[in-house]
Chain A
Amino acid sequence: MKGHLQEAFFSLLLAGVAAFLCVAAMDIPGGAHGSIAPATFPSAITFAIALLALLNVAASLLKGKKADTLPAISRQGILNLILFIVLSTAYIWAMSVAGFVVSTFFYLILMPLLICLISADRKGLLAKPAFWARVIAFALIGTGIIYGVFVEMLKVRF
């Protein structure tokens, strides 16, 4: 999908979400009582977002291919995005289940590993022992420093 079409699709999505929230705002109880009701502000905002987002859909489509200076997100890019979000969500979930230290240590190994796997310069990197040594040392030192600063110094309880 071309860049301008992706932008139009995103704007349409925004308009759709705003329209849904505009309808949901109608269920907000409470009267005006001499001022404006609790539903008025969100209704007005969602209506304006939907309207402006639809205007942007039209603008993106009219702009067309000629003015399309924005490169489209590639399939690989979308895949990277999904992988990254999944790993980050898993880290946040693991933090509440396995604790801060264990989850952070494994996260600091897995995240650079994931980034290396999706990088253009990944060839032969995983076969090098020095790479693994660096990643593990980074994870150990990183976890230690963060533990020292946040848990010991700042008294954050995980």
Chain B
Amino acid sequence: MGDYLEALGLVFQWHVLLVIGAGTLLGLIMGALPGLTAAMAIALLLPLTFGMPPVMGMGMLLGTLCGAIAGGSVSATLLNIPGTPSSVATTLDAFPMARRGEAGRALGICIVASFIGGIFSAVVLSLLAPPIADFALRFGPAEYFALSVFGLVIIASVSSKSLIKGLVAGLIGLLIATVGTDPVAGVQRYTFNNLSLLTGVNLLPALIGLFAVSQVLKDVVDYFSGGPVEHSKNKMDHARPRWMETLRHWKVLASSSVIGTIVGAIPGAGGSIGSFLSYDQAKKMSKTPEKFGTGHPEGIVASESSNNALVGGALIPMLTLGIPGEAATAVLMGGLMIQGISPGPTLFTDNGSIIYGIFIAFFVANIFMLLIQWFGIQLFVKVLQVPRKLLMALILMFCVIGVYAVDADIFNVYLMLGFGVLGYFLNRYDFGTAPVILGLILGPIAESNIRRALLLSGGDWSVLVTRPISLTFLLVSAAFLFFTLWQNRRQTTPHS
């Protein structure tokens, strides 16, 4: 209790609050811009925290992370371009809603769901960090492999109309993830003597190419040649937080926040799995599952509450075990170490006031996120008022510069264009691009863990089914596959 009181004093100083607010605002702006990821936003602000006290510096970076994750939903809603991988599921319903003239309503739901998901995970982080991290610690290589399989099956079954196409897209992502130097044997795979490919395919060009450039190409092919128009219309009068509409779906809100927090606490699982898992769960729980993907509020609530709950969940293993869940938390952990604080189990006993200060700063960042979005929502909707012709040129330029800014490698920019063309055709023929990204994220996790599991078991494949958690993931994956196949079959049967 003494530590909490001391921590309150560390956070509630006007300059600390100002810095957390500034970090949240910058995160929101960067998250909303296609091509600027949460990890990049945190990395860019990291030098600013050098001279700050630990709670102030971490508060700013946490604000940036929360803002960037929430900001990702803005471009997902208005442009069908997820600002971060965790916003991919948001595009499925928020963009169709915006396209039919309810951009403000979609953003209003996003704001409330993000806030509630974020606050929920902050409560869990503060109260249940040690036991949840303890559970995640039980995961071995077999469990991580099974989790990756589970994630891919989920995404393949939810993001395409056909299971075959969804699986093809997921496998393309897994294949792309094998490019580069093999992490175990050190041999080169599919590098074709290109130095830029030695370290593998960078996620950013793939993400921007598949989601941003492919959308621009779609407009170029369809819209500007007089084909079907697919763009959002805005209703400025409805652009405000939708408290009642969001809270009406309290079951989805609660289940998605729980799923997001748990998935976030599993290192390596990442935002895309959490939001898709929640989306899929909400669809299965819904009385109107057929409305999902057409601009249904439940879909937005599920995805947004989950991806913001994930932030708090991801902080649990990072702070208690020193294991960053994904890129953004890895950069955040770097920020903590710059402050001279080593994350791990001893952190709670050695630096109690600082760690609780970080928890409180996380609460405050979520409140700032709500307030800034509340008053800035009209501004975000105005993005749609930029003429489409100019917007397309601007988006592509942002994509080019965003990708180039990461490591100043022009090859990655060409790669992004290639991914854009691939993404265009995958979308055109209903394969979907989300499974490609998840495959790309999960590929290294799946491969390295299956190899490690087999090494530990002496080449015995039964290790995947003899461990209860691994077996559970695999059984649930198989159940999902059969359920999706049954659903596909039912949809194609004339009687149904």
A binds B: yes
Residue numbers of A with Cβ under 8 A of B are: 6-7, 10-11, 14, 18, 21, 24-25, 28-39, 41-42, 45-46, 48-49, 52-53, 55-56, 59, 70-71, 73-74, 76-78, 80-81, 84-85, 88-89, 91-92, 95-96, 100, 104, 107-108, 111-112, 115-116, 118-120, 138, 142, 146, 150, 154, 156-158
B228 in the interface (beta carbon within 8 A) = yes
Q: From known contacts A85-B421, A92-B400, A146-B397, infer whether A80 and B225 are also in contact, taking CB-CB under 8 Å.
A: yes
Cβ–Cβ < 8 Å partners of A32 in chain B: 459
B residues 424-448 touching A (CB-CB < 8 Å)? 424-425, 428-430, 447
What chain A residues lie within 8 Å of B405 (beta carbons)?
Answer: 150, 154, 156
- Asked if B450 is an interface residue, CB under 8 A from chain A, the answer is yes
Contact B175 A21 (CB under 8 A): yes
A and B contact pairs by CB, cutoff 8 A, 7 listed? A10-B429, A35-B184, A77-B225, A92-B410, A118-B220, A150-B401, A156-B408
User: Any chain A CB within 8 A of the CB of B383?
Assistant: no
**Closest chain B residue to A116 by CB distance?**
B389
CA distance A140 to B457 in the complex (A): 63
> Quick check: is B254 within 8 A (CB to CB) of the other chain?
no
Contact A45 B185 (CB under 8 A): no
**Could you tell me the distance between the alpha carbons of A14 and B396 in the complex, rounded to whole angstroms?**
26
Q: Chain B residues with Cβ under 8 A from A80's Cβ?
A: 220-221, 224-225
B-side residues, CB < 8 A to A, are 44, 162, 164-165, 167-168, 171-172, 174-175, 178, 182, 184-185, 187-190, 216-217, 220-222, 224-228, 389-390, 392-394, 396-398, 400-401, 404-405, 408, 410, 413-414, 417, 421, 424-425, 428-430, 447, 450-452, 454-455, 458-459
- Residue of B whose beta carbon sits closest to that of A63: B492
Checking A6, A38, A85 against B417 with a beta-carbon cut-off of 8 angstroms, the contacting residue is A85
Residue contact A53 to B168, C-beta cutoff 8 Å:
yes
Residues B168 and A52 in contact, CB atoms below 8 Å apart: yes
CB-based contact A41/B394 at 8 Å: no
Inter-subunit contact B165/A30 (CB<8 Å) = no
SS of B interface (majority): helix
User: How many A-B Cβ pairs are below 8 Å?
Assistant: 168
Chain A residues within an 8 Å CB radius of B421: 81, 85
Pair A108/B397 contact, Cβ less than 8 Å: yes
Interchain CB contact (< 8 A) of B221 among A38, A53, A73: A73
The reply to whether B227 and A74 contact each other, CB–CB distance below 8 Å, is yes
Which B residues lie within 8 Å of A119 (CB)? 224-225, 389
Q: Which residues of B contact A157 (CB under 8 A)?
A: 408
On whether the beta carbons of A45 and B175 are closer than 8 Å, the reply is: yes
Please report the C-alpha to C-alpha distance between residue A146 and residue B400 in the assembled complex, in whole angstroms. 12
Do residues B389 and A35 form an inter-chain contact, with CB atoms below 8 A?
no
B171 touches A108 (CB 8 A): no
Q: Which interface residue of B228, B451, B454 has the most chain A CB atoms within 10 A?
A: B451
Q: Once the chains are docked, how many angstroms separate the CA of A120 from the CA of B228?
A: 12
Is A34's CB under 8 angstroms from B221's CB?
A: no
Closest to B492 in A: A67
B459 lies within 8 A of A35 (CB): yes
A111 with B189, Cβ < 8 A, contacts A52-B171, A142-B397 known: no
| Chain B residue at smallest Cβ distance from A139 | B393
Option from B44, B168, B408, B455 in Cβ contact (under 8 Å) with A35 = B455
Q: Identify 20 new A-B residue pairs, CB closer than 8 A, beyond the known A78-B221, A91-B400, A95-B404.
A: A10-B428, A10-B429, A21-B175, A25-B189, A28-B189, A34-B459, A41-B178, A42-B175, A45-B178, A48-B171, A52-B168, A53-B168, A55-B164, A74-B225, A76-B225, A77-B227, A84-B220, A104-B397, A142-B397, A154-B44
